[in-house]
Amino acid sequence: MSYVPPHKRRSKEPVRPCPVPESVSRKFTRNLNLDGRQNTSGQGRKVIYAKDCILKWFLVGSDGIEDEISPSVKLVPVSSDYSEWNWRDGRKPWVLVNNDAGEKDAEIGETVVRTPWLSVAEKVEDDIFMAFGQVKNGMDHPALEEVTPRLVARFGKILLNGHPSFSSESLKGGLVAESTSRESKKSFCTNVPTSYMESIKDAAVLKLGCCMEKKDIYCVILSDKTHPDSTISCKCTVKEDKRLVMHRVELNALRHCVADVSCLNQNIDMRLMVYSKRILTALTENEICNIRKLVDSAVVDPNVKGGLRWPLGEAVSGDRYSVCGVWHVINTVYRSSTFRLKVREVDRFDFRAGTGGAAREVILVLKGISQKLEEGGEVERSSVSDMLKDALKMIWDHFLSADPYFM
C-alpha cells in the first residue's frame, strides 16, 4: 500500500466545524436579536434597599410565633409545576411544610383563642414605625418632589435556595436568624395559583365589600447611564391607535422594612413591607423629550413577552437612556376606605437577560395605616397599633388559605 501524506489522509471521524473562540461566541450571543428586540447594556429593574432597611423572617403557628421548630415541620423541594423558580444554580428551591397542621388544629379545638395575628403585630409594630420615620427623614432629595411611603402585604411562598446539604435538620439552631447567610438564601415567590386568585375575588372581596376597577398598564423600564444604580419606570396606557400614553415617571421603589412570615398552618405565606414610592416630577425638558421618544417608538405586540417591542435601533435615546425591560400588567383593583387590593396578571421581559415570564400576584395596600403614619405631628401610637391588629386579623380571616400550594 502506497504512502499517503498526513494532509491527504481521510479521517473516520465526522467532519466538525472549527471551534468558535469564546470571546466571539459571547459577542454573537450578546448581539443576537430575536423578535425585533434590542439588547441593551442597561440594568434590569432592581430591588433597592434603604441603608438602614429592616429585614426579618419568622415562623407563625396556630397560637403565635414559633420559637422552636416543630419536628412535624419539614423542608420539601418545590413541585415540578413551579419549575420556573428553579433558577440559577439548577437546583430546586425548598419550602417549609407542616405535616400535622390539621391534627394540631384538631387538638387545639375551641379551648384556646388562636390569635397568631396579634403575635405578628407585636413583632413588626416597632419596625413599621421606624421605617416610616426613615422615609420622613429622607424626603429632601432635590430630584424627587413626591415621595410616598406605603405599607403593603404580599402573598405567596417563601423559597429557600440552599446548599446541597441543606435539610430540615438545618432548621434547628437558628436558620431563621441566619436567613441572610450564603448557604440559605431566601426569596419570596409572589406567583400565586389561579385557584387562590379566584378565592380572593369570590370570597374575600364579597365579604369585605369594595369598589372595583380594571386597568391595562404597560411599564417601560429604562436604564439611565448617569444613575447606574437605579432604573426608571414609565407607567403607560394604550390609545385606540395602539400607541402608548405616558402618565408618570418613577424611580424604582426603595424598601425600608421587609418582614417575611412563614405561616406553618397554611400553605400561603405573607410578606409585610414598607417602601417609598418615588415619582419624578422635576425632570428637565430634554430628559422628558428623550424618555418620551422611547415610549413613543414602542410597538404593541401581544405575540412577544412583555407585550412591547422596539424597531431596530430605537430602544436607545441619545447617549443616556435605554430600554432594559417591560411589564404588561392587567390590574383588577378593589378599593375601600382603609385598603386597596390589587389582583393582577403580569407579563414581564428583561432585555438585559433576554428572559421573561408571567405571574399572578395579589397585593394588599394598607392605605389607612399608611395615611395615619404619614400625618404630620405626633402620631397616636395606640390607634395605629389597633389598626394594624385589625388589618392582620382581616388578612388571617380572608387572605391566608389552606388551598394546595407548592406541594
Asked if 324 and 350 touch (Cβ cutoff 8 Å), the reply is: yes
User: Could you give all domains of the chain from N- to C-terminal order, each with its CATH number?
Assistant: 35-398 (3.20.100.10)
- Pick from 264, 207, 243, 236: nearest CA to 329: 236
Q: Is residue 351 a contact partner of residue 42, using CB atoms and an 8 Å limit?
A: yes
- Give me the pLDDT at residue 110, please: 46
Ranked by mean pLDDT, the top range of 59-68, 200-209, 280-289, 395-404 is 280-289
> What global pTM score does this model have?
0.80
Average pLDDT, rounded, for the chain: 78
Q: Are 230 and 46 in contact (CB under 8 A)?
A: yes
Does residue 131 carry a pLDDT above 80? yes
CB 309 within 8 A of CB 297: no
Closest CA to 84 of 402, 359, 367: 359
pLDDT band of 303, cuts 50, 70, 90: very high
Identify the three-state secondary structure at position 107: helix
pLDDT score recorded for residue 185: 74
pLDDT at position 380, please? 81
Q: Which residues contact 355 (CB under 8 A, 6 or more apart)?
A: 349
Read off the pLDDT of residues 59-109 as tens digits, 9 standing for 90 and up.
988 777 776 677 777 788 776 555 444 444 556 788 887 776 555 444 544
Q: Is 112 helix (H, G, I), strand (E, B) or coil?
A: coil
Grid coordinates given for 54: 429592616
In this model, does residue 295 exceed pLDDT 60? yes
Burial class (CB in 10 A: 0-12, 13-18, 19+), 108: middle
Q: Quick check: 229 and 252 in contact, CB under 8 A?
A: no
